[in-house]
Amino acid sequence: MAVNCMKAADNNTVITEWEEIIKRPNFHVLRKSINNSALYQYKVFGSFDDISAYSFYSVQKDLDYRKNWDKLVIKLDVIDVESTAHRSGTNRQIYDSGNELIHWIMKYPYPMMNREYLYIRRSIIDFRRNFIVLISRSVTNSNIAECNEHVRVYDYMSHMVIKPYESFDKPGFEFMLTYFDDARASFPSPAYAWMAARGVPDFVEKLHQAALKFTDMKPLENILYHMMNDDDADDDNNDDDADDDDSDTGYVINQSETDTTSKKQTNNKKNFLSRLPEPVVDFDSLIWN
């Protein structure tokens, strides 16, 4: 189980800050209070043996597919991008999606108003250390004006780390999710804390079920291709490079998902870029921060 990550050395003082509130066969949910308030940050440690790490990642990354399986989605669209997907380093061992600005409107139970999120998302696949990171953070300024139909959430963050047992395309992985948002709820805080504590594991269950269907519906898209297959020009002109040691280090994903996203004006881009999260590929720091 991924909960074994809690046994990491030199983290005993951090462990005591977290309270375990839900324990299920495939995952545990912990929480800790934020600045002695009624708000909590949540952490989920878990594992699945019947889906691949890439399927679990893809159902979160593919927003069009999420609109089908997540019935709480009212609107979920990429409205701006930093750049097309790329791999960093001469050895091509890290895939970096680039930053995406996402507009999300989420259905909330009656009598609460629906919530609206504007956030930056970035994903990184580290082939050398064999894990995927999916980072989301809210932004407060944008060209999308607030309206009376929704409550905009100003403070939101989500860090998902996925670590396969063997490779990204084979079943079996452990994961860690760290999540926080201040939904600006007007009803009693304990009631919202109760709802949030159960909403997190329900979301994980939905991810699992969606990943199972994704594997059946899109088998070809669920295969990670060897990294060298994406080196079109290099492979044609540098046959010797194809035999380098890093030729068997991992895979690349389909990069076409960002091709159809429109660009904003340059002055808006500067404001957007100033709020981008830095790439994070440190598995241990994501677990314990």
Number of H helices, E strands in the chain: 7, 14
Q: Which residue has the higher pLDDT, 88 or 247?
A: 88
Confidence band, pLDDT 50/70/90 cuts, at residue 116? very high
Question: Which pLDDT score is estimated for 143?
Answer: 81
- The residue among 209, 252, 242 whose CA lies nearest residue 96 is 252
3-class SS of residue 271: helix
Q: What is the pLDDT of residue 77?
A: 95
Tokens of 106: 């989420």
pLDDT score, position 90:
46
CA of 3: how far to CAs of 20, 30, 130, 134, 174, in Å? 11, 11, 18, 19, 9
- Most confident listed range (16-20, 63-67, 197-201, 280-284): 63-67
DSSP state of 253: -
Q: Is the pLDDT of residue 70 over 70?
A: yes
Q: Does 53 score more than 50 pLDDT?
A: yes
- What is residue 50's predicted lDDT score, i.e. its pLDDT? 95
Do 52 and 168 meet the contact criterion of CB atoms below 8 Å apart? yes
Residue in 14, 3, 2, 4 with CA at minimum distance from that of residue 285: 14
Q: Are 55 and 211 in contact (CB under 8 A)?
A: yes
What is the rounded average pLDDT for all residues in the chain? 72
Coil, strand, or helix at residue 110?
Answer: coil
Select the more confidently predicted residue: 41 or 280: 41
Q: What pLDDT digit, counting tens, does each position of 192-246 carry?
A: 555 666 777 888 999 999 999 887 776 544 445 433 344 433 444 444 443 444 4
Question: How many CA atoms lie within 13 Å of 100's alpha carbon, on the beta-carbon side?
Answer: 27
What average pLDDT score do residues 76-80 get?
A: 92
- CB-based contacts of 76, cutoff 8 Å, min separation 6: 63, 66, 67, 70, 102, 103, 104, 105
Model confidence, pTM:
0.71
pLDDT tens profile 9-22: 333 334 457 888 88
Q: Which domains are present in the chain?
A: 2-288 (3.30.530.20)
Q: Are 139 and 101 in contact (CB under 8 A)?
A: yes
Look at residue 186 in the predicted model and tell me its pLDDT.
63
Token pair, residue 48, equals 């699945």
Q: How many other C-beta atoms are found inside a 10 Å radius of the C-beta of residue 51? A: 22
Who wins on pLDDT, 12 or 149?
A: 149
Between these two residues, 140 and 36, which has the higher pLDDT value?
Answer: 140
Q: For residue 257, give the amino acid letter.
A: E
Residues 6 or more apart whose CB falls under 8 angstroms from that of 185 comprise: 112, 191, 192
